[in-house]
Structure 1
Amino acid sequence: PVTSSCLKEIEAYIVIYTTFKGTSSLANVQRTWFMCIIICIFF
């Protein structure tokens, strides 16, 4: 199951990712976030 701590890590990753990539790649961020959720659920 997805824990709150896991979501916090994903959130932090997204913030860092958007900071480096810029808001123009929001779609990529959403896709990355989705993949992180899947990884988080199964691992």
Structure 2
Amino acid sequence: MLITTLRCLASQANLISSTNGSRNQQKETVIQIESEEFESEEF
């Protein structure tokens, strides 16, 4: 599962570098923040 996540991140990084990077990065940051908040609520 971890390897799949790393591969996914690697492909996303390639996508970001080959396309409009700043806009894609902002979306990724928002998704990360939302998932972190959801995880902290469970505890």
Instruction: Output the TM-score relative to the length of structure 2.
Output: 0.46
Q: Which has the higher contact order (CA 8 A, sep 6+)?
A: 1
Larger Rg: 2
Instruction: Output the TM-score relative to the length of structure 1.
Output: 0.46
